[in-house]
Amino acid sequence: MAQEIVESGINNSFKILDLNSVRDRIDLWQEHLPNVQMHYAVKTNSDVKIVKAIYDKGQKFDCASSAEIQKVIDLGASPEDIIYANPIKGKKHIEFAKNHGVKIMTFDSREEVEKIHQIYPEAELILRIAVTNTDAPYPMGNKFGAPADLWNDILDTCQNLNMKVRGVSFHVGSGGCSFEAYKSCLIDTEKVFKMIRQRNMPELDIVDIGGGFSMSATNPVNNFTQVAPKVANYLDNVFPGKNNKQVSVLGEPGRQISQDTTSMITQIFHVKEQGENRHYYVNNGVYHGFGSQVYDREFFLGQPLLLEAELKKRIAQE
Ligand SMILES: Cc1ncc(COP(=O)(O)O)c(C=O)c1O
């Protein structure tokens, strides 16, 4: 299809989205993690066509902002199908969640509980814990997640403010990591469950295993199809998910669903020889399509759509 469009003479950069591969990936998630309810991380690709494909397949959402919440609600999603999975939220965004009935949200600090309490005391909280042991190429530990030595203090605040804590979440980091990273986080999750029991707080009922799965992991043994069955097996023993009336297990896949589902077509409009190097100039850039190459070190596999002779002719005409 891309070739036909390019041959028709269009020079602008554009993208082609393969919605069937999005649908196939949802099926793959259900095949490998049947007891883990998907909440697609909208931020990883918020194209309305992807979000709608996920909604049409009956899946749920992880939103990181009021704009994302609005987008999925506009498609018809119910507020109960959304978790507001940004541990640090602006006040206006919390108000927005409140006004739209989105109750479940993550947090990772005493200050955030205090803020949520002021605006939305009926909110239900998921404590995002820090990840200390991961081999993910892009860990998120520095930015988000409560370290173990703060759990007591944070839970004290929740208890004092009478905020309802529903569960625990983590994010192992993006780019694909080993089962051991998930296992280590699940061991920490169990510790929080235990602490809650010891404090006589109401029993937790949500385990959120976050995102992190990849279909093209930097290290291929860490691909989704290799790691997810081990995670599923471990979860079935410690938190039996959908089969267990006490605890719901959910996950927030982003890249596992949206990575590699879009092809970007760009035109090489200039070639410059400099010493031993040849520089290609394309009509797209870091702020439109190549950001993930710089920030996630994603590898873009290029494929020419026009023959060299045709390319040279077009360049000469410009
Ligand atoms: C809270 C949260 N959940 C899920 C995701 C999705 O992560 P991934 O694309 O690695 O699955 C991200 C990051 O993009 C995130 O910050």
Do residues 76 and 161 both lie within one domain?
yes
**24 pLDDT higher than 60:** yes
Do 103 and 250 share a domain, yes or no? yes
Q: What are phi and psi of 246, to 5 degrees?
A: -80, -40
CB of 85 within 6 A of ligand 1: the answer is yes
What's the pLDDT band for 318 if we cut at 50, 70, 90? low
**Distance, CA of 41 to CA of 252 (rounded, Å):** 5
Is the pLDDT at 241 greater than 70, yes or no?
no
First vs last C-alpha separation in the chain: 24
pLDDT at residue 243, as a whole number: 57
267-294 pLDDT, tens digit each: 888 889 999 999 989 999 888 888 877 7
Q: Whose CA is nearest to atom 5 of ligand 1?
A: 211
Same domain, 219 and 89: yes
Same domain, 191 and 295: no
Q: Give mean pLDDT, residues 120-145.
A: 93
Q: Is 210 in the pocket of ligand 1 (CB under 6 A)?
A: yes
Structure tokens that stand for 20 in this block = 């069937």
Specify whether 216 is located in the same domain as 242.
yes
| CA–CA separation, 148 and 145 (whole Å) | 9
Find the 83 Cα to ligand 1 centroid distance in Å: 13
- 35 vs 233: CA distance, rounded Å: 10
Q: Distance between CA 150 and CA 110 in Å, rounded?
A: 9
Assign 3-class secondary structure to the chain.
Answer: CHHHHHHCCCCCCEEEECHHHHHHHHHHHHHHCCCEEEEEEHHHCCCHHHHHHHHHCCCEEEECCHHHHHHHHHCCCCHHHEEECCCCCCHHHHHHHHHCCCCEEEECCHHHHHHHHHHCCCCEEEEEECCCCCCCCECCCCCCCECHHHHHHHHHHHHHHCCEEEEEECCCCECCCCHHHHHHHHHHHHHHHHHHHHCCCCCCCEEECCCCCCCCCCCHHHCHHHHHHHHHHHHHHHCCHHHCCCCEEEECCCHHHHCCCEEEECCEEEEEEECCEEEEEECCCHHHHHHHHHHCCCCCCCCCCCCHHHHHHHHHHC
Q: Is the CB of 145 within 6 Å of ligand 1?
A: no
Indicate if ligand 1 lies below 6 Å from the C-beta of 256: yes
Last residue of a domain, one of 242, 258, 274: 258
Calculate how far, in angstroms, residue 256's C-alpha sits from the geometric centre of ligand 1: 10
Q: What is the sign, positive or negative, of the torsion defined by CA atoms of 54, 50, 142, 157?
A: negative
Residue whose CB lies within 8 A of the most ligand 1 atoms, among 43, 216, 250, for a mutation test: 43
- Whether 255 lines ligand 1, by a CB cut-off of 6 Å, is yes
Identify the pLDDT of residue 268.
86
Q: Which of 158, 253, 259, 139 has the alpha carbon at shortest distance from 202?
A: 158
Q: Is the CB of 25 under 6 A from ligand 1?
A: no
Domain check: are 134 and 45 in the same one? yes
With the most atoms of ligand 1 within 8 angstroms of its CB, the residue from 37, 185, 255 to mutate is 255
Number of domains in the chain: 2
- Considering the domain architecture, whether residues 220 and 311 belong to the same structural domain is answered as no
Q: Which residues are registered as beta bridge partners of 165?
A: 125
Do 217 and 100 share a domain, yes or no?
yes
CA distance 155 to 146: 11
| Boundary (domain end) residue, out of 258, 274, 291 | 258
Mean pLDDT estimate for the chain: 92
Residue 115 CA to ligand 1 center (angstroms) comes to 23
Mean pLDDT across 59-66: 98
| Averaged pLDDT for residues 42-66 | 97
Pick from 33, 44, 223 the residue to mutate for probing ligand 1's pocket: most ligand atoms within 8 Å of its CB: 44
Q: How far is the CA of 117 from the centre of ligand 1 (A)?
A: 25
Do 293 and 196 lie in a common domain? no
Ligand 1 pocket residue status of 108, Cβ below 6 Å: no
**152 and 95 share one domain:** yes
- Ligand 1 contact, 212 CB (< 6 A): yes
CATH number at residue 205: 3.20.20.10
Cα dist from 12 to 7, 134, 310, whole Å:
12, 41, 16
Confidence of residue 3 (pLDDT cuts 50, 70, 90): confident
Range of the domain at 218: 19-258
Q: Give the C-alpha separation, 57 to 234, whole Å.
A: 26
pLDDT of residue 293: 79
Report how far ligand 1's centroid is from the alpha carbon of 212 (Å). 6
| 290 and 167 housed in the same domain | no
Instruction: Among 215, 240, 258, give the residue marking a domain's end.
Output: 258
Note whether 9 and 41 are same-domain residues.
no
